Each structure stands twice: as structure tokens, then as C-alpha cells.
């Protein structure tokens, strides 16, 4: 079983409009709702890949109830979310169907009380028993300590469970110090963390801060992995048009699924890049176009580089 943690889950709303104009009034042509938050997206992709997955975190209020009802309809995802009193946040994506661009609006999230946090910690420790890996994903809601990912990483490592960390800002900086097995920032998050704009240099710097391996998302250019044994870069054979929302979460699912299967680093990166690109082609986060994934998987180019400094 692969465990995912989404402390700031969301009900994702997607509006499609013919063309998005600032300060204009728009007629929405299509509306969709999905359970959201990075870890939940990861679990949904893992389930589609055939892996048993459990999703934990927080859910509350009417939006939390709606999220859990939708998650119950998802194939293969076990709901282990902890109920809270405040309402789960919403995120709104506005898709300009003419230009293909997406504008994202993210609410901050509910305030978590100390008692609710203690309940989560109890659930988390229980779920680690039997987990093959755990993914700690996304932003933090109000009321949660900024060093929470460092704490959760140490707890998982003490239980012998590999940890993937996918967050940004101060939670990322503190989380790295707890030595997660894998950190997966994007290029902008790496640059903000390290001050280096060159991805290989930035990934090496992030690895020296504590992560055993750093995998950087490079957008349409693929992914870069820096490990103790070497570095690899994987790139899709061509650019895929569509909505990039959730592409990074699918990449995390690819990395995790390949990890528990014992795949090599080149194979892990190829799977992650193919899934990421296939998500751009899909309708929304937590989904991927299977035909595109299977087509691209054998076409991803993986090149190796020097060992990590």
C-alpha cells in the first residue's frame, strides 16, 4: 500500500470559458468538480495504475463531505481523511479554451485545531504500519506547524517507510533537513530555495540540505534526478498541448509506483515524465490519458550525467 498525505485537501472546480478576458463577464460553457489537493491527485493516479493506495489528511464542512463522496466513487482509493470542524477549501481553475491557458484561484484552507492535529498524528502512525512508501504533499492549512513535514518525515523513516516530499517554501526547507528519501520540487521552487536558476546546480544544493535524492520538474522539458549514484534527465519526445494542472502530481505517482516496484532510476523518470505529459492531455488533475501515457512511455529520452557532488 502507498500512503499519501494531503493536509490541505480541496474540492477542485474547473470552469471552461471560450476566452478569458480581464475585467470581463464570462459565460461558462462547462463546469466540473473533483476531489483535489496534491496527495489526493497522486492517490487517484496510483489507483489507476493498479496500486493500492490510502489517502489521509483533513476534510471538513460541506465541501469536505462533497470531496469524500466523490472520493468514494474513485476506483481503488481508500479514504482515511480525518474529519475537522472547519470547511475544506475550494480551488477554482478557469480554462481559456481558445488559448489553452489556465488561471488558478486557491483558497487558503481551514484552520486545524490542536485536537484535530493530534487525531491526525494518531491516524498517520497507524497507517504507516504496512505502507510501502508515503508521499507528503502540498501546502499547509492554518494551524499546522510549519515544520510539520520534517516531523512526519522523521516518523515515517523511524518506521522504515520511504518518504517522498512534494511541497515548497519554508515547509520544503525544513522538510529537507529531516532527510526524506526523495524531494520533488519544480524548477521555480528549487530556485527559490537555493538561489540557483540552473536546475542541476540547484538540485545538487537541495540534496546537500538533506534529501537523499532530488527530482526536479522542468515543465515541458521533463525531469531531472540527482542521486548519490548519478544524475539523469528525462524529456518527452514532443510538447503536449492541454491543461498542465496536476501534471506534477502524476509525476509523483509515477515515481512512487516505480519505487515500490524496484525499477531503475531511468525507468522511474521515464514513467514519471510519460504520466505527467499524459495528464496535460487529460480533463483534469488526478487523471491521465492512458493511450498517451502508453504511447509516450517508450519514447521518453533519458540521458545520464555525473554522480552527485
Active site residues: 249
Phi/psi region, residue 291 (left: phi>0; alpha: psi -120 to 50; beta: rest), is alpha
Other beta carbons less than 10 A from residue 308's beta carbon: 19
CA dihedral of residues 301, 306, 307, 309 (deg, nearest 10) = -120
Alpha carbon 247 to chain centroid distance? 8
Q: CB within 8 A of 196, min separation 6: which ones?
A: 190, 202, 205
A 10 A CB-CB count for 20 gives 18
Compute the C-alpha angle 42/292/221, nearest 5°.
Answer: 75
Say if residues 2 and 13 touch (Cβ distance below 8 Å).
Answer: no
**Alpha-carbon distance 94 to 28, whole Å?**
9
Mapping DSSP onto H, E and C, the string for 201-232 reads: HHHHHHHHCCCCEEEEECHHHCEEEECCCCEE
Return the SS3 of 239.
coil
Calculate the alpha carbon distances from 218 to 47, 119, 121, 190, 244 in Å: 25, 37, 33, 10, 12
306 class by beta-carbon count within 10 Å (0-12 exposed, 13-18 middle, 19+ buried): exposed
- How far apart, in whole angstroms, are the C-alpha atoms of residue 118 and residue 82? 10
Give every CB contact of residue 261 below 8 A, 6+ residues apart in sequence. Answer: none
Amino acid at each position: 500500500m502507498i500512503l499519501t498525505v494531503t493536509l490541505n485537501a480541496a474540492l477542485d472546480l474547473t470552469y471552461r470559458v471560450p476566452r478569458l478576458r480581464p475585467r470581463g463577464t464570462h459565460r461558462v460553457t462547462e463546469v466540473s468538480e473533483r476531489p483535489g489537493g496534491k496527495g489526493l491527485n497522486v492517490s487517484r493516479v496510483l489507483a489507476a495504475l493498479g496500486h493500492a493506495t490510502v489517502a489521509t489528511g483533513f476534510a471538513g464542512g460541506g465541501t469536505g463531505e462533497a470531496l469524500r463522496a466523490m472520493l468514494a466513487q474513485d476506483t481503488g482509493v481508500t479514504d482515511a481523511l480525518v474529519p475537522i470542524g472547519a470547511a475544506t477549501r475550494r480551488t477554482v481553475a478557469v480554462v481559456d479554451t481558445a488559448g489553452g491557458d489556465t488561471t488558478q484561484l486557491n483558497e487558503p484552507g481551514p484552520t486545524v485545531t490542536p485536537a484535530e492535529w493530534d487525531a491526525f498524528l494518531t491516524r498517520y502512525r497507524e497507517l504507516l504500519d504496512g505502507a510501502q512508501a508515503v508521499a507528503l504533499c502540498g501546502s499547509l492549512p492554518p494551524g499546522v506547524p510549519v515544520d510539520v513535514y520534517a516531523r512526519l518525515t522523521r516518523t515515517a523513516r523511524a518506521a522504515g517507510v520511504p518518504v517522498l516530499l512534494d511541497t515548497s517554501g519554508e515547509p520544503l526547507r525544513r522538510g529537507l533537513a529531516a532527510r526524506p528519501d526523495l524531494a520533488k520540487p519544480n524548477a521555480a521552487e528549487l530556485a527559490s530555495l537555493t538561489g540557483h536558476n540552473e536546475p542541476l546546480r540547484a538540485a545538487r544544493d537541495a540534496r546537500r540540505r538533506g534529501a537523499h535524492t532530488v527530482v526536479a520538474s522542468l515543465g515541458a522539458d521533463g525531469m531531472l534526478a540527482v542521486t548519490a549514484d548519478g544524475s539523469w534527465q528525462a524529456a518527452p519526445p514532443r510538447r503536449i498541448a492541454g491543461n498542465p494542472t496536476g501534471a506534477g502530481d502524476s509525476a509523483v505517482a509515477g515515481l512512487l509506483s516505480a519505487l515500490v516496484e524496484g525499477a531503475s532510476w531511468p525507468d522511474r523518470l521515464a514513467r514519471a515524465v510519460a504520466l505527467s505529459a499524459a495528464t496535460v492531455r487529460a480533463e483534469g488533475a488526478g487523471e491521465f490519458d492512458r493511450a498517451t501515457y502508453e504511447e509516450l512511455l517508450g519514447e521518453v529520452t533519458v540521458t545520464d550525467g555525473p554522480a552527485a557532488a
